[in-house]
Amino acid sequence: MDDLVAELAGALGEANLLVSAEEKAPFLCDWLGKYRGAARAVIRPGSTAEVAAAMRICARHNAPVVAQGGNTSMSGGATPDSSGRAVVLSLTRLNSIRNIDTVGNTIAVDAGVVLAKVQQAAEEAGRFFPLSLGAEGSCTIGGNLAANAGGVAVLRYGTMRELTLGLEVVLADGRIWDGLTSLRKDNTGYALRDLFVGSEGTLGIITGAVLKLFAPLRARATAFVAVQDIDAALALLAAIRNRCGDRLTAFEFMTGDCLALILRHAEGVRLPLAAMPPAAVLIELSDQDDETALGERLEATLIGGVDAGLVIDAAVAQDGMQARAFWRVRESISETLVRAGKAAKHDVSMPISAMAEFVAATEAAVRAAASGVRPIVFGHLGDGNLHYNLLPAEGQDPAAFAALAPGLTRIVHDEIGRRRGSISAEHGIGQLRVDEMPLRKAPIELELMRSLKHLLDPAGLLNPGKLLPAGPCPLAPETEDDHGSAR
Ligand code: FAD
Ligand code: 2HG
Ligand code: ZN
């Protein structure tokens, strides 16, 4: 045992320190199977104080620390590099619901609590926590915060940042910032909370959070709707928003090619429509009560859509079981893509008014660059967020496609740049997009980010190689290392 490992064992107990290759393996590979890293050890502290102790030890030994929650990152954010220097800090033993306040409508939780457990705790207290995404059975609140997760209800409730009131964070040197406030109004300076949300483990280790709760939604109406194209889907979105206001909770788009792929690869999933459409949207309205009125409102809106030539066909769920079957179609897309081959994945956002033009221009450009490439496009249309996945041509050698992928990514992201969009709407930069940052961010933005990083993590130990590419920091004294590692 080396000194670092021995000290960590002393602070956390040997049972919470994994050093054998077999024990470490699940923490060293990402969900998509794209990245494989190495680590000196995986540590599993059980409290904020233990996280702080571990951070002090790692800082003393100059050991990089990679925070990990449920390890469902879609950008390789929680996978260490291959140097084997890093310690992976798993938060999953910090898994208590700390407090629920049904008057203030807040829930305080440990960072390692799985999202589904928070949803369930809220429900048991007669409240609702709205963050919802396909990985909710395994992703953690800390990971959701560090990634500023989005999901399928952003349209109505916002991203994780908008759902958060307070944070508890352990800094790189082991100091603890107790920002666990439940205040909705607090104008006492810079918004430190918002800095840590979305920082992907590069500024501090989130150990706890106070989140907002909402009134429960007892009425739901769900429809699976065939449309001609993204233009029609967007016109339908505008009509539904006009007619249903805040009741619109989800508006999920997928192309016919995406649906065909699901039917081919996902077991037990059936198309809710009579025929394969050119494109489809999954629509959900929700309300506090009166399911009948809500269902009538949805049907009337869809009939309006048929009359306006926007809706080709629609299936409205008659009960909860049917609604869940509709959602299964949508939720099986990520796994379907993994089964279908190594996709070039993009998670882009843009002004909603630019989406149809983006899809047309990008499809033409990628097809011209890679014959037979298969765009599999879906996403959270109401948020201006598309998951623009590109699969190799049928039968194409994976290595040949991998060689084309960076050029295809350049095309997709250039089209996004032209529309003042973002190359990461919700999955983060991680290691997947880190090399793109100098191309997509203004020098002044990178300079400010590097300065903040240097203030909070002067030794560059927190999740190195993620989010920020290597480069000079205006606050750091010039050293050789500045050009060789991500600080
Ligand atoms: P991890 O993957 O463990 O970590 C994610 C990042 O956060 C890493 O950079 C890590 O270092 C850092 N981190 C983790 N915990 C902490 C902590 N306590 N303190 C500081 N840093 C930390 N994302 C969406 O936004 N919307 C979706 O709809 C969506 N759907 C998904 C569906 C599937 C099937 C999968 C596999 C992923 C999906 N994701 C989605 C991606 C992912 O961002 C979310 O699943 C989730 O937010 C990650 O949580 P996690 O606990 O797994 O974090
Ligand atoms: C979703 O919306 C997730 O389902 C995952 O953000 C998207 O796999 C993807 O590309
Ligand atoms: Zn998504």
Percent of the chain with pLDDT over 70: 98
Question: Residue 448 domain-assigned?
Answer: no
The answer on 223 and 143 residing in a single domain is no
User: Measured from the CB, is residue 427 less than 6 Å from ligand 1?
Assistant: yes
112 CA distance to ligand 1 centroid (A)?
12
Question: Residue 476 domain-assigned?
Answer: no
Mean per-residue pLDDT for 181-203? Answer: 97
Question: Residue 37 domain-assigned?
Answer: yes
Q: Which residues contact 344 (CB under 8 A, 6 or more apart)?
A: 389, 390, 401, 405, 408, 409
At 440-466, the pLDDT tens digits run 999 999 999 999 999 999 999 999 999
Residue 479's pLDDT band, with cuts at 50, 70 and 90, is low
At 5-47, the pLDDT tens digits run 999 999 999 999 999 999 999 999 999 999 999 999 999 999 9
**Spatial contact of 99 and 180, defined as CB atoms under 8 Å apart:** no
Question: Residue 232 domain-assigned?
Answer: yes
- Which ligand ends up closest to the CA of 331? 2
User: Measured from the CB, is residue 149 less than 6 Å from ligand 1?
Assistant: yes
Q: Is the pLDDT of residue 423 over 80?
A: yes
Q: List pocket residues of ligand 2, CB cut-off 6 Å.
A: 74, 134, 333-334, 337, 345, 387, 389
Of 474 and 435, the structure prediction assigns the larger pLDDT to 435
pLDDT of residue 75: 98
154 CA distance to ligand 1 centroid (A)?
16
Tell which of 90, 118, 133 closes a domain: 90
Q: Tokens at residue 54, please?
A: 């571990």
Mean per-residue pLDDT for 402-430? Answer: 98
Question: Residue 403 domain-assigned?
Answer: yes
- CA-closest residue to ligand 2 atom 9: 334
Mean per-residue pLDDT for 242-259? Answer: 97
The answer on 240 and 173 residing in a single domain is no
Question: Residue 281 domain-assigned?
Answer: yes
User: Measured from the CB, is residue 132 less than 6 Å from ligand 1?
Assistant: no
The answer on 142 and 234 residing in a single domain is no
At 204-227, the pLDDT tens digits run 999 999 999 999 999 999 999 999
At 73-83, the pLDDT tens digits run 999 999 999 99
The answer on 32 and 133 residing in a single domain is no
Percent of the chain with pLDDT over 90: 95
The answer on 198 and 116 residing in a single domain is yes
Question: In a 10 Å sphere around its CB, with 0-12 CB exposed, 13-18 middle and 19+ buried, how is residue 2 labelled?
Answer: exposed
- Write the CATH number for 290: 3.30.70.2190
The answer on 319 and 235 residing in a single domain is yes
The residues facing 315 across adjacent strands are 224
pLDDT of residue 487: 37
The best mutation among 30, 115, 333, 390 to test binding of ligand 2, ranked by most ligand atoms within 8 Å of the C-beta, falls on 333
Question: Residue 449 domain-assigned?
Answer: no
Nearest atom of ligand 1 to the alpha carbon of 144: 47
Tell which of 33, 63, 90 closes a domain: 90
Q: Which residues contact 95 (CB under 8 A, 6 or more apart)?
A: 110, 112, 113, 114, 117
The answer on 150 and 172 residing in a single domain is yes
What is the number of domains present in the chain?
4
Residue 286 to residues 101, 241, 244, 322: CA-CA distances in angstroms?
A: 24, 13, 10, 16
Please enumerate, as own/partner, the contacts of 313-320 that have beta carbons within 8 Å and a separation of 24 or more.
313/225, 313/226, 313/273, 313/274, 313/275, 313/277, 314/223, 314/224, 314/225, 314/226, 314/273, 315/223, 315/224, 315/225, 315/272, 315/273, 316/221, 316/222, 316/223, 317/221, 317/222, 317/223, 317/224, 320/220
Taking the C-alpha atoms of residue 223 and residue 282, their distance in angstroms, rounded to an integer, is: 6
The answer on 122 and 73 residing in a single domain is no
Q: Which residues contact 45 (CB under 8 A, 6 or more apart)?
A: 12, 16, 51, 53, 54, 89, 91, 93, 94
- Sheet (strand 65-68) strand order: 17-18, 41-43, 87-90, 65-68
The answer on 348 and 242 residing in a single domain is no
- CA-closest residue to ligand 2 atom 6: 151
Mean per-residue pLDDT for 399-422? Answer: 97
User: Measured from the CB, is residue 205 less than 6 Å from ligand 1?
Assistant: yes
pLDDT of residue 364: 98
| Greatest alpha-carbon span in the chain | 73
Q: Which residues contact 406 (CB under 8 A, 6 or more apart)?
A: none
Nearest atom of ligand 1 to the alpha carbon of 66: 11
User: Measured from the CB, is residue 211 less than 6 Å from ligand 1?
Assistant: no
- Which ligand ends up closest to the CA of 167? 1
Computed on alpha carbons and rounded to an integer, the radius of gyration of the chain in Å comes to 23
The answer on 207 and 123 residing in a single domain is yes
User: Measured from the CB, is residue 91 less than 6 Å from ligand 1?
Assistant: yes
Residue 245's pLDDT band, with cuts at 50, 70 and 90, is very high
Report the length, in residues, of the chain: 487
Q: Is the pLDDT of residue 418 over 50?
A: yes
Taking the C-alpha atoms of residue 122 and residue 154, their distance in angstroms, rounded to an integer, is: 18
- Sheet (strand 347-349) strand order: 311-316, 219-227, 279-287, 248-255, 374-380, 385-391, 347-349
Residue 132's pLDDT band, with cuts at 50, 70 and 90, is very high
User: Measured from the CB, is residue 78 less than 6 Å from ligand 1?
Assistant: yes
Nearest atom of ligand 1 to the alpha carbon of 201: 21
CA atoms within 13 A on the CB side of 424: 24
Nearest atom of ligand 2 to the alpha carbon of 427: 6
User: Measured from the CB, is residue 362 less than 6 Å from ligand 1?
Assistant: no
Question: Residue 450 domain-assigned?
Answer: no
The answer on 229 and 199 residing in a single domain is no
Q: Which residues contact 182 (CB under 8 A, 6 or more apart)?
A: 101, 104, 106, 108, 165, 166, 210
294 CA distance to ligand 2 centroid (A)?
28
- pTM of the complete model beyond 0.85: yes
- Write the CATH number for 63: 3.30.43.10
pLDDT of residue 485: 44
- Write the CATH number for 389: 3.30.70.2740
- Write the CATH number for 108: 3.30.465.10
- CA-closest residue to ligand 2 atom 5: 334
Nearest to 163 by CA among 135, 188, 194, 139: 194
User: Measured from the CB, is residue 140 less than 6 Å from ligand 1?
Assistant: yes
Residue 308's pLDDT band, with cuts at 50, 70 and 90, is very high
pLDDT of residue 482: 47
pLDDT of residue 8: 98
- Which ligand ends up closest to the CA of 136? 1
Cα angle 444, 445, 449 (rounded to 5 degrees) comes to 115
Nearest to 284 by CA among 317, 262, 258: 317
Taking the C-alpha atoms of residue 76 and residue 58, their distance in angstroms, rounded to an integer, is: 22
The residues facing 99 across adjacent strands are 108
pLDDT of residue 137: 98
pLDDT of residue 477: 74
The answer on 144 and 167 residing in a single domain is yes
412: domain range? 341-427
Mean per-residue pLDDT for 312-333? Answer: 97
Q: Tokens at residue 98, please?
A: 């700390």
